[in-house]
């Protein structure tokens, strides 16, 4: 019986949400399903919508659902946006790791000018940026939820 009520609530919520917002959330969910294949971050180009559009769609979904569990999932999805970083930053880190690995594999080759220490410093910088943005997004979504509750 609870499953039927939940489905009816979901249908009611979907009627309240625009088709655009539904499509944005569907696309974002499909990207999040690929999350396991990435390390600390995902390339921004994986998102088929801007972070702003996704945030708006998530807020709309939160405001139209009464399901506590679904709200938590949506809030987590909102915060997860912090893990999407510019492609060039991710490519640079990956290329630098590849260069170091290639240099270590080839006997007699001079090491690349980028050291593992430099790469780790860049990784830490990116991780801090992700954490800072995640904290900001957590505050944003908590403020939003407190205003609509």
pLDDT tens readout for residues 116-149: 777 788 888 889 999 999 999 999 999 999 999 8
Q: pLDDT (tens digit, 9 = 90+) per residue, 24-48?
A: 999 999 999 988 887 778 999 999 9
What is the structure's pLDDT at 118? 76
Number of domains observed in the structure of the chain: 1
Q: Domain of residue 69: give its range.
A: 2-148
Alpha helices in 17-115 (DSSP H): 19-32, 51-64, 68-80, 87-105
pLDDT at 7 over 50: no
- Contact by Cβ (8 Å): 74, 137: no
Packing angle of the helix pair 51-64, 2-16 (nearest 10 deg) = 130
Closest among 66, 50, 55, 69 to 16, alpha carbons compared? 66
- Contact by Cβ (8 Å): 85, 103: no
* Mean pLDDT within 7-29: 74
Q: Which residues contact 101 (CB under 8 A, 6 or more apart)?
A: none
* Mean pLDDT within 68-88: 95
Could you tell me what percent of the chain has a pLDDT over 90? 52
Q: Highest-confidence range of 9-23, 76-90, 96-110, by mean pLDDT?
A: 76-90
Structural tokens at position 37: 């294949």
pLDDT at 60 over 50: yes
Buried (b) or exposed (e) across 105-115, using 16+ Cβ within 10 A? eeeeeeebebe
Contacts 24+ apart (CB under 8 A), 74-77: 75/141, 75/142, 75/145, 77/28, 77/29, 77/32
Reduce the DSSP state of residue 111 to 3 states and report it. coil
Residues 15, 133: Cα–Cα separation, whole Å? 32
């Amino acid at each position: 019986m609870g499953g039927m009520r939940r489905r009816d609530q979901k249908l009611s919520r979907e009627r309240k949400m625009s088709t655009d917002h539904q499509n944005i959330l569907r696309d974002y969910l499909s990207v999040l399903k690929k999350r396991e294949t990435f390390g600390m971050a995902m390339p921004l180009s994986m998102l088929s919508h801007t972070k702003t559009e996704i945030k708006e769609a998530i807020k709309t979904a939160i405001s139209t659902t009464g399901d506590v569990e679904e709200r938590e999932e949506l809030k987590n999805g909102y915060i997860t946006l912090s893990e999407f970083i510019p492609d060039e930053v991710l490519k640079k880190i990956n290329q630098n790791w590849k260069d170091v690995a290639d240099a270590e594999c080839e006997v007699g080759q001079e090491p690349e000018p980028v050291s593992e220490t430099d790469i780790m410093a860049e990784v830490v910088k990116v991780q801090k940026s992700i954490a800072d943005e995640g904290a900001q997004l957590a505050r944003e979504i908590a403020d939003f939820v407190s205003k609509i509750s």
